[in-house]
C-alpha cells in the first residue's frame, strides 16, 4: 500500500500529459499542421496511454477494487473507450474537418467527465439531477 500515493501521482501525471498532448494534436489538426503526419506524436501518445492504463490498473489491483462492483470505475472504463474512439476520429479518421472538429470537442467533454468521475468516485457529476435532488431533500 506504501507505493499507492506514488502510483496515483504517476497516474495523474500521465492523465495531465494525455489531455495536454491530445489538445495539442487537436490544435495541429485544426491548423492542418504537417506535425500531425509525423510518426513520433502518435508513438508518444501510445506510450503515454500505456503508462496511464498500467498505473490505473495497478491502482485498482492495489486497492483490491472490482471494476464490476464499483460504478465509478466502470464509468471510467466506458468513458475511456469512448474517449479513445472519438479521439481517433477527431485526429485521424473523421471523413471531413467539421466531423473531426466536432468529435474533438466531444472527446474533450468526455475526458472532463472522466476526471469528475475520478475525483468524486461517482459516475454522476454534481450538476446532474441526482445531486440536485439529494441537495434539495437535505
Phi, psi of 31 (to 5 degrees): -85, 5
CB 41 within 8 A of CB 25: yes
Spell out, one character per residue from 98 to 137, where the chain touches ligand HEM: x when CB under 6 A holds, - when not.
-------------x--xx--xx------------------
DSSP H helix total and E strand total for the chain: 5, 0
**How far is 88 from 103, CA to CA, in rounded Å?**
9
Spell out, one character per residue from 11 to 50, where the chain touches ligand HEM: x when CB under 6 A holds, - when not.
xx--x-----------------------------------
Q: Which of 24, 30, 54, 59 binds ligand HEM (CB under 6 A)?
A: 59
**How far is 127 from 107, CA to CA, in rounded Å?**
19
* Footprint (CB under 6 A) of ligand HEM, residues 62-81: 63, 76-77, 80
HSE value, Cβ hemisphere, 13 Å, CA-based, for 55: 19
* Interface residue list for ligand HEM (CB under 6 A): 8, 11-12, 15, 52-53, 56-57, 59-60, 63, 76-77, 80, 83, 111, 114-115, 118-119
Amino acid at each position: 500500500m506504501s507505493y499507492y500515493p506514488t502510483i496515483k501521482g504517476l497516474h495523474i501525471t500521465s492523465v495531465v500529459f494525455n489531455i495536454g498532448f491530445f489538445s495539442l494534436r487537436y490544435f495541429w489538426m485544426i491548423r492542418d499542421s504537417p506535425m500531425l503526419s509525423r510518426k513520433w506524436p502518435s508513438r508518444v501518445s501510445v506510450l503515454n496511454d500505456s503508462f496511464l492504463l498500467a498505473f490505473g490498473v495497478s491502482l485498482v489491483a492495489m486497492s483490491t477494487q472490482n471494476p464490476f462492483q464499483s460504478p465509478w470505475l466502470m464509468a471510467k472504463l466506458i468513458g475511456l473507450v469512448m474517449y479513445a474512439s472519438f479521439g481517433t476520429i477527431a485526429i485521424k479518421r473523421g471523413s471531413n474537418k467539421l466531423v473531426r472538429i466536432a468529435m474533438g470537442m466531444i472527446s474533450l467533454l468526455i475526458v472532463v467527465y472522466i476526471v469528475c468521475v475520478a475525483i468524486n468516485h461517482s459516475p454522476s457529476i454534481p450538476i446532474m439531477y441526482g445531486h440536485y435532488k439529494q441537495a434539495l431533500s437535505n
